[in-house]
Amino acid sequence: MSEPSASPEVLIKAEGLIKTFAKKNSEPFTAVAGIDFEVRRGEVFGFLGPNGAGKSTTMRMIGCVSPVGGGRLSLFGLDPNTRGPEIRARLGVVPQEDSLDLEMRVRDNLHVYGRYFGLPRPVIRERAQRLLEFVQLADRAEDKVEPLSGGMKRRLTIARALINDPEILILDEPTTGLDPQARHVVWDRLYRLKQQGTTLILTTHYMDEAEQLCDRLVVMDKGRIAAEGAPRELIERYATREVLELRFPLGEQEQAAEKLAGLGSRLELLPDRVLVYADDGDAVLSEARGRGLEPLTALVRRSTLEDVFLYLTGRTLVD
């Protein structure tokens, strides 16, 4: 615990982290295949990747609910395999499935959870009120959980995860399954937590979520880390400033792509469109028209993390 720590303080450190699941009648499945990362106090750290990339498995190892399968992992300088309860006492976890008790009242869900940490009742009462106000559910405190909307349930799960005043808040796909409005409310609350200095770790397969919230992130694919850095950094490193998206009539994409050769710094053929990576999309578009191409639609946009992911893996994120 008293390791000399460089500033800013490293809270989580993983080296060659592995997780393998034994499977009946087949080869063991490697969900996490040796990853390295560090999370520092006060930052928002993201794991980005498609379903099955190993994000959730990594989160469960960080949350000390799945034993480390190989390599090394430490939180607060402690070993999760032997000091799980102590580490969990300092974490707040928002799992992918809310795991709320639907038949209990909103306030009682916070109460029973707080008791697991041994918090005194008056402290829980005061915190529950404060946290329910924070997640904008104070007026539903006495209602049962069942009728709440998906967004409300997720916010309640966030409030519950904060009841022990955690040093790190872990969120596994915090906005998956929520409608756009509900997602924005969650983002807004997470952004406030970030501003108050809470360390956040989140997984997502939404580009915009990662770009908006994360200070640093790793892109995961098939159990490995494909890239690591700040969102803007990654875009600068792996993509051009702009992307030109072109759609062509059915069957004409191949020929069009041949004509596009040499334009921009790179071409990417997707099933339904062609992406041209260039620093000036409009210039490329007029050049393409000059070569006699008539796309059905043409769109110039800024590069996103989606483009980074596509470049690194050759696949889109949400298949």
b/e per residue 54-72 (b: at least 16 CB within 10 A): bbbbbbbbbbbebebbebe
Closest CA to 53 of 319, 238, 304: 319
Touching another protein, residues 107-146 (CB under 8 A): 108, 111-113, 115-120, 123, 126-127, 130-131, 133-134, 136, 138
Say which residue the tokens 């008293």 belong to: 2
User: Which residue, 239, 238, 243, is CA-closest to 282?
Assistant: 243
Residues with Cβ < 8 Å from 203, sequence gap 6 or more? 46, 47, 48, 49, 55, 56, 58, 59, 171, 172, 173
Mark residues 234-273: x for contact with another protein by CB under 8 A, - for none: ----------------------------------------
- Cβ proximity to another protein: between 30 and 164 the closer is 164
Q: Which of 49, 54, 95, 264 binds another protein (CB under 8 A)?
A: 95
Q: Which residues of 264-296 are buried (b: 16+ CB within 10 A; e: fewer)?
A: beebbeeeebbbbbbeebeebbebbeeeebebe
The answer to whether residues 103 and 138 touch, using CB atoms and an 8 Å cutoff, is no
Nearer to another protein, 128 or 227 (CB): 128
Q: Does 187 bind another protein (CB under 8 A)?
A: no
Measured in degrees and rounded to the nearest 5, phi and psi for residue 247 equal -115, 140
Should residue 88 be labelled a site residue for another protein when binding is judged by CB under 8 A?
Answer: yes
The Cα-based distances of 238 to 231, 242, 266 in angstroms read: 11, 12, 11
Which is closer to another protein, CB of 1 or CB of 250? 1
Of 193 and 227, CB closest to another protein: 193
Residue closer to another protein by CB (options 120, 249) is: 120
From the list 135, 127, 194, 137, the residue with the least C-alpha distance to 165 is 127
Question: Could you write out the DSSP letters of every residue in 54-92?
Answer: SHHHHHHHHTTSS---EEEEEETTB-HHHHHHHHHTTEE
| CB closer to another protein, 92 vs 231 | 92
**Residue 90 found at the interface with another protein (CB under 8 A):** yes
Residue 70 C-alpha from the chain's centroid: 23
Choice between 40 and 60, CB closer to another protein: 60
3-state secondary structure of 246: strand
Q: Does 164 bind another protein (CB under 8 A)?
A: yes
Least separation, in Å, of the C-beta of 143 and another protein?
A: 15
The first and second tokens of residue 316, run together, are 């889109």
Give yes or no for residue 29 binding another protein (CB under 8 A). Answer: no
* Binder among 165, 254, 272, 279 for another protein (CB under 8 A): 165
Nearer to another protein, 60 or 205 (CB): 60
Q: Is the separation of the CB atoms in 55 and 206 below 8 Å?
A: no
Binding mask 43-82 for another protein (x = CB under 8 A): -----------------x--x-xxx---------------
84 scored as a contact of another protein (CB under 8 A): yes
CB of 279 to another protein, least distance (A): 40
Q: Provide the binding-site residues for another protein, judged by CB under 8 A.
A: 21, 60, 63, 65-67, 84-86, 88-91, 93, 95, 97-103, 108, 111-113, 115-120, 123, 126-127, 130-131, 133-134, 136, 138, 160-162, 164-165, 193, 196, 198
